[in-house]
């Protein structure tokens, strides 16, 4: 692979951003309620230039209130999941690691289920409870995964997997005993679903946290490159391994918690996108993190567009779409690289 230059970083990101833009336009155009391209352009221009009084009511309702926020949420969730996945893959030095491997999604699901049972009347309670559930799991796994005072990849992985299966068992228990009629909601939640319209404030909080956590991981990018060669070697090269691991662990967990709390556990994105990006652009984390963010956004927005339109007006959970579309792409790239 050619050495990474600033020029290549920027151009790769610009290229992916352009792809994302195309996918977003496609996503805006397609949906259960069709809009012509002319309408779309005209109204979007009015929206961007502040002439909101000229926007048609249909457009305001369907585009501005439903479709656009959903696409933005898809971008954020996809970006968060793939950055988190890339982070966990480096932290655990395991190519099979994904954002959910340490049980964050299961913890969030437990939080969400409890909130659905306890306070069904308030829409913002579920994401909040899910995030708290994720936070509790992260903290628990952190203390279980330490060895001699610092995070140890092997111990962390085992502690996370055990916590994940323990929490999944609790979910099944809760679903079969307590939750009765809201059970379908929870099943969708576990599969990953972007259809819920979020209170706008939550989206905004997500944006802030996303940039903070992604920025934090990005500052450790060159250290992560060295860490991939082995922990001891990295330490000899002057990397503060303990700090780097802590930063990556907390940031990746926060990103996962955010994504899961608003959209449930959307599968495969966090596992596949970083690998696909590596196959396409190399495994230097300085390039991998921004490109994985863009790639994740592209993947989720694309998958969600399919989920919205394939059997419209009924919607599929986006998690089913990411799995169906993701696996073949991954296998293709894997085989191509081998031959």
Partner 1 sequence: MSRDDENKTGTRRPARLLAIALTALAGLATALWPHWQTRMPQPGSAGLVRVTDETGRAVAVPQPVRRIVSLAPNLTETLFALGLGERVVGVTDYCDYPPEAAAKEHVGGPVTPNLERIARLRPDLVVATRAGGNRLSTVHSLETLGIAVFATDPHSVDEVIVSTERLGELAGANEQGRLMAAGLRSRLSEISERLSGSELTRVLLVVWPEPLITVGRNTFIADALRRAGAENVIQTAQDWPNASLEEVARRRPEYLIFASDHSDQTNRKIAELGGLPGWRSLDAMRNKRVIVLGEAIARPAPRLVDVIETLARTLHPERFSLEVTSAPMPAPPSALPQSPEGTR
Binding site for partner 1 (CB under 8 A): 4, 6, 9-10, 31-33, 47-48, 50, 52, 57-58, 60-62, 64-69, 116, 120-121, 123, 126, 176-177, 180-185, 188-189, 193, 195-200, 204, 207, 211, 215, 218-219, 221-222, 225-226, 237-238, 286, 290, 308, 312-317
Instruction: Give per-residue burial for 279-316: e unless 16+ CB within 10 Å, then b.
Output: eebbbbbebbbbbbbbbbbbbbbbbbbbbbeeeeeebb
Q: How far is the CB of 325 from partner 1 (least distance, A)?
A: 19
The three state secondary structure string of 123-150 is: CCHHHHHHHHHHHHHHHHHHHHCEECCE
* Choice between 181 and 335, CB closer to partner 1: 181
Residue 147 main-chain phi, psi, to 5 deg: -140, 125
Q: How far is the CB of 280 from partner 1 (least distance, A)?
A: 18
Q: Is 145 left (phi over 0), alpha (psi -120 to 50) or beta?
A: alpha
* Choice between 8 and 146, CB closer to partner 1: 8
Q: How far is the CB of 6 from partner 1 (least distance, A)?
A: 5
Q: How far is the CB of 94 from partner 1 (least distance, A)?
A: 23
* Choice between 86 and 157, CB closer to partner 1: 86
* Choice between 30 and 161, CB closer to partner 1: 30
| The two structure tokens encoding residue 134 | 């994720």
Which secondary-structure segment (H or E) carries 279? Answer: helix 269-281
Q: How far is the CB of 294 from partner 1 (least distance, A)?
A: 11
* Choice between 57 and 339, CB closer to partner 1: 57
* Choice between 50 and 149, CB closer to partner 1: 50
| The two structure tokens encoding residue 81 | 């999941």
| The two structure tokens encoding residue 283 | 């495994």
Q: How far is the CB of 104 from partner 1 (least distance, A)?
A: 20
- The distance in angstroms from the start CA to the end CA of the chain is 17
| The two structure tokens encoding residue 28 | 């805006």
């Amino acid at each position: 692979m050619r050495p990474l230059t600033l020029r290549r970083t920027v151009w790769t990101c610009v290229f992916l951003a352009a792809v994302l833009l195309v996918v977003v336009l496609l996503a805006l155009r397609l949906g259960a309620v069709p809009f012509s391209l002319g309408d779309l352009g005209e109204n979007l221009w009015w929206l961007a230039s502040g002439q909101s009084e000229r926007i048609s009511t249909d457009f305001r309702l369907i585009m501005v209130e439903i479709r656009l926020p959903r696409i933005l949420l898809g971008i954020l969730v996809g970006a968060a999941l793939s950055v988190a996945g890339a982070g966990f893959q480096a932290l655990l030095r395991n190519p099979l690691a994904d954002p959910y491997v340490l049980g964050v999604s299961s913890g969030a699901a437990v939080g969400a289920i409890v909130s659905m049972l306890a306070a069904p009347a308030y829409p913002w309670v579920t994401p909040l409870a899910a995030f708290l559930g994720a936070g509790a799991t992260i903290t628990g796994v952190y203390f279980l995964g330490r060895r001699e005072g610092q995070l140890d990849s092997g111990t962390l992985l085992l502690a996370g997997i055990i916590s994940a299966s323990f929490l999944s068992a609790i979910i099944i228990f809760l679903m079969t005993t307590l939750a009765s009629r809201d059970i379908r909601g929870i099943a969708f939640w576990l599969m990953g679903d972007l259809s819920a319209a979020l209170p706008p404030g939550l989206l905004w909080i997500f944006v802030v946290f996303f940039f903070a956590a992604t920025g934090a991981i990005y500052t450790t990018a060159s250290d992560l490159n060295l860490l991939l060669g082995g922990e001891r070697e990295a330490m000899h090269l002057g990397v503060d391994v303990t700090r780097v691991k802590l930063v990556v662990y907390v940031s990746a967990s926060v990103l996962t918690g955010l994504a899961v709390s608003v959209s449930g556990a959307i599968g495969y994105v966090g596992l596949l996108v970083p690998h696909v990006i590596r196959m396409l652009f190399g495994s230097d984390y300085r390039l991998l993190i921004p490109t994985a963010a863009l790639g994740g956004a592209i993947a989720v927005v694309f998958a969600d567009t399919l989920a919205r339109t394939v059997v419209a007006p009924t919607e599929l959970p986006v998690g089913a779409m990411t799995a169906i579309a993701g696996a073949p792409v991954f296998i293709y790239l894997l085989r191509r690289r081998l031959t």
